[in-house]
């Protein structure tokens, strides 16, 4: 109930204005977001890399209906990639891109524009020697995103994508993408989805996650285990026991279970932190609140204690 309310709020312009205008929100947002600009993102990247973790950076923003905004997002990624190279981080830090931030929802030629914009980001990533992973948004975008992934991989075979275990289609998508050279970030899924396409029960989502993991770990691709769930991490480690340590990785979000992130990295595993930055933090922040009721309490406590 709380989850659906927060996820509905994550797409409400009126509530967005209210949450964003409250200055007291800021300290809570900081737990999940590196900072407003590329300087903050580069500084936090350095801190995360220093203890042996890897990074994927997300320039925040989504659902843009404005072509100029989509172009500005591409420019922000190009600047970020240059800065990663200058700092000497491009071998350990990649970028994650939401296609809806680079034009997928534009009313005219949205998919075509998103593909061209994503292509520019991939070309720049290739030049500095890093990779790009396409985030996955709600289920209405899955076919479009996987279609764009296929097109991008013709020129940039290292482009990865996210699959969401809560979608009933995902086990088959994993089979389709478990081939050599493919990079799949498997997560549970963070959006509000109808029962016609998505498992609603947490236990069913977890079972689906394990089925998908089995497919990816048995395949020839590069599985990226994106979860904070201790049971799923243990199962993933078990399924990966026959694989080389550099043929898969664990991933978690910035600000969530950082000690566990360090522990996993210290055991010689590849552990990547998803690091968002920028001032368009509202949708991302609300999804983090929705994932865990305790976050809402934490948020409210921070508000009333000031």
Annotated binding site: 98, 136, 164, 188-190, 202, 227-228, 287-288
Q: Which is nearer to ligand FAD, 38 or 252 (CB)?
A: 252
Per the annotation, where are the binding residues for substrate? 98, 287-288
- Residue in 77, 89, 158, 191 binding ligand FAD, rule: CB under 6 A: 191
> Which of 272, 304, 295, 285 is CA-nearest to residue 33?
285
Three-state SS for 301? helix
Rounded CA-CA distance 256/139 in Å is 25
| CB 7, CB 290: distance < 8 Å | yes
Asked whether position 253 contacts ligand FAD by CB under 6 A, the answer is yes
Q: Tell me whether residue 185 is one of the annotated catalytic residues.
A: yes
Rounded CA-CA distance 153/269 in Å is 27
Maximum separation of any 2 CA atoms in the chain, in Å? 53
Three-state SS for 193? coil
Tell me 246's DSSP state. Answer: G
Rounded CA-CA distance 74/301 in Å is 37
Q: Which is nearer to ligand FAD, 168 or 228 (CB)?
A: 228
Catalytic one among 185, 206, 270, 272?
185
Q: Which is nearer to ligand FAD, 86 or 207 (CB)?
A: 207
Q: Which two tokens stand for residue 270?
A: 């590849």
Question: Binders of ligand FAD among 98-157, rule CB under 6 A?
Answer: 135-136
Looking at 101-109, 124-132, 168-176, 286-294, which segment touches ligand FAD (CB under 6 A)?
286-294
Min dist CB 113 to ligand FAD, Å, is: 20
Distance of CA 23 to the CA centre of its chain: 26
Looking at 103-111, 151-159, 176-184, 287-295, which segment touches ligand FAD (CB under 6 A)?
287-295
Asked whether position 164 contacts ligand FAD by CB under 6 A, the answer is yes
Spell out, one character per residue from 47 to 66, where the chain touches ligand FAD: x when CB under 6 A holds, - when not. Answer: --------------------
Measured CA angle at 91 (ends 90, 93), to 5 deg: 60
What is the β-pairing status of strands 183-187 and 222-226? parallel
Min dist CB 259 to ligand FAD, Å, is: 12
Min dist CB 147 to ligand FAD, Å, is: 16
Q: Which residues bind ligand FAD (CB under 6 A)?
A: 135-136, 162, 164, 185, 187-191, 226-229, 251-253, 256-257, 274, 288, 291-292, 295
């Amino acid at each position: 109930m709380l989850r659906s309310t927060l996820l509905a709020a994550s797409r409400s312009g009126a509530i967005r204005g209210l949450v964003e205008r409250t200055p007291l929100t800021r300290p809570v947002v900081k737990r999940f977001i590196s900072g407003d600009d590329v300087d903050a993102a580069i500084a936090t990247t350095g801190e995360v890399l220093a203890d042996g973790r890897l990074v994927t950076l997300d320039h925040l923003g989504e659902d843009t209906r404005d072509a100029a905004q989509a172009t500005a997002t591409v420019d922000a990624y190009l600047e970020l990639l240059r800065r990663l190279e200058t700092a000497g981080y491009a071998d350990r830090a990649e970028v994650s891109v939401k296609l809806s931030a680079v034009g997928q929802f534009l009313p005219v030629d949205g998919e075509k524009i998103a593909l061209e914009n994503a292509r520019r980001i991939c070309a720049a990533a290739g030049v500095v020697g890093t990779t790009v992973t396409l985030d996955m948004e709600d289920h209405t975008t899955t076919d479009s995103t996987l279609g764009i992934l296929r097109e991008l991989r013709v020129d940039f075979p290292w482009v990865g994508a996210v699959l969401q275990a809560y979608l009933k289609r995902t086990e088959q998508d994993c089979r389709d993408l478990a081939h050599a050279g493919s990079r799949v970030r498997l997560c549970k899924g963070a959006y509000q989805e109808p029962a016609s396409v998505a498992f609603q029960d947490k236990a069913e989502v977890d079972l689906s996650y394990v089925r998908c993991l089995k497919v990816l770990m048995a395949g020839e691709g590069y599985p990226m285990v994106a979860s904070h769930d201790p049971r799923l991490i243990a199962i993933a480690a078990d399924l990966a026991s026959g694989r080389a340590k550099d043929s898969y990785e664990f991933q978690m979000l910035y600000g969530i279970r950082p000690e566990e992130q360090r522990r996993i990295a210290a055991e010689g595993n590849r552990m990547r932190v998803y690091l968002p930055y920028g001032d368009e933090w509202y949708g991302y922040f609300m999804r983090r609140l929705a994932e865990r009721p305790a976050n809402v309490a934490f948020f409210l406590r921070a508000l009333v204690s000031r």
